[in-house]
Amino acid sequence: MTDLVVRPLVAGEEELFLSLIEPGLVGIQSTGRDYRELIALGQYRPEWTWLALRDGRVVARAAWWAGPDDDKPIALDWLDFLDGEADAAVELLRTAGIDAEYCLVLPPHWRDDPAARTAGEARIEVAERAGMHRFVERLRYTWTPAAGLHDRPGRLRFTPEPDDEVILDVLRRIAHGSLDAHEQRAMERGGADAAARDELAFLHWMPSPREWWRLAHTDTGELVGLTVPGRNHASATIAIVGVVPEHRGHGYAYDLLLEATQLLVAEGAGQITAETDTTNTPMAATFARAGYPITQERVYLK
């Protein structure tokens, strides 16, 4: 076998990156993502796009994604390789040495589809051989008008809150007992304050209006939680649906989700995405009740 050359992309080599032809059963490329469009927008960058070549032919490739204003990659979401070239993909990841979570996009029920399962497990194995570890599996939901727009239950009052210190305090309360694996990890590393500050930084990172954030209260003025409809760099999204511990178990997440959905639809959203961990069964049930079907599964490795 000829020697392997592993290197980052050079500006202008987009066609070389796209020269690797594979079935597109899994991975972000399976969603129809346009690499050319996103590199032009600064969401992929040559220095964060890596190739493994034999005799000038691409046998493995990887691209790390970030927002256009970010100074480091947020996630590896494009990784594929030719049959028999798993070793090249491992070498590519090791040589690139970029420290970011791997988000492997998969079709719903991918383990029941032999071809998708083989492709997905091959990528997971490559990532693990390169030193990553499975962290969490998540469900991606997409609301569209075909699902219908449910009426607000009317149990809560929703108001904007411009003070970040107030939002931080609510996020600290929501962090306690959270079923979200990323939030649990932040709690383990730095407690509720660190988890809340991570969430607040994420909310400010989104390119959507701060004015959309809503606190929820009962008619008697008790705080129930926070809901944040937003936009990421691809679509309208449900950023946070969080209920404080003392009000959990009453189905209020449904009210918060519908409030965010209604606001986004009023702002012209034609589809709305959302995610939750596969282990967060109460939130999964809430999305199903609100007309959000599962459109992807995702495996995260770090």
Per the prediction, the chain carries an average pLDDT of 97
Residue 139, in any domain of the structure: no
pLDDT (tens digit per residue) in 292-302? 999 999 999 99
Does 169 share its domain with 56?
Answer: no
- The CATH number of whichever domain residue 109 belongs to comes to 3.40.630.30
9 shares its domain with 59: yes
From 106, 132, 158, give the residue that closes a domain: 132
Last residue of a domain, one of 82, 106, 132: 132
pLDDT higher than threshold 80 for residue 20: yes
Same domain, yes or no: 194 and 126: no
The domain in which residue 259 lies consists of: 146-296
Query: Could you tell me if 271 and 152 lie in one domain?
Result: yes
pLDDT for 1 beyond 70: no
What was the pLDDT predicted at 182?
96
Residue 163 lies in a domain: yes
What is the pLDDT averaged over residues 202-218? 98
Q: With respect to residue 141, please indicate whether it lies within any of the assigned structural domains.
A: no
pLDDT for res 2: 77
pLDDT digits (tens, 9 = 90+) for 149-180: 999 999 999 999 999 999 999 999 999 999 99
**Is residue 284 over pLDDT 70?**
yes
138 falls within a domain: no
**pLDDT (tens digit, 9 = 90+) per residue, 102-123?**
999 999 999 999 999 999 999 9
Answer yes or no: do 70 and 94 share one domain: yes
DSSP string, the chain: -PPPEEEEPPTT-HHHHTT------SSGGGGT--HHHHHHTTSS-GGGEEEEEETTEEEEEEEEE--TT-SS--EEEEEEE-TT-HHHHHHHHHHH----EEEEEE-TTGGGSHHHHHHHHHHHHHHHHTT--EEEEEEEEEE-GGG--PPP---SEEEE---HHHHHHHHHHHHTT---HHHHHHHHHHHHHHHHHHHHHHHHHSSS-GGG-EEEE-TT--EEEEEEEEE-SSSEEEEEEEE-GGGTTSSHHHHHHHHHHHHHHHTT-S-EEEEEETT-HHHHHHHHHTT--EEEEEEEE-
Total domain count, the chain: 2
Check whether residue 55 and residue 89 sit in a common domain: yes
Percent of the chain residues past pLDDT 70, beyond the cut: 100
Which of 105, 132, 159 is the last residue before a domain boundary?
132
Same domain, 170 and 291: yes
Q: Is the model's pLDDT at 90 over the cut of 70?
A: yes
Same domain, 156 and 79: no
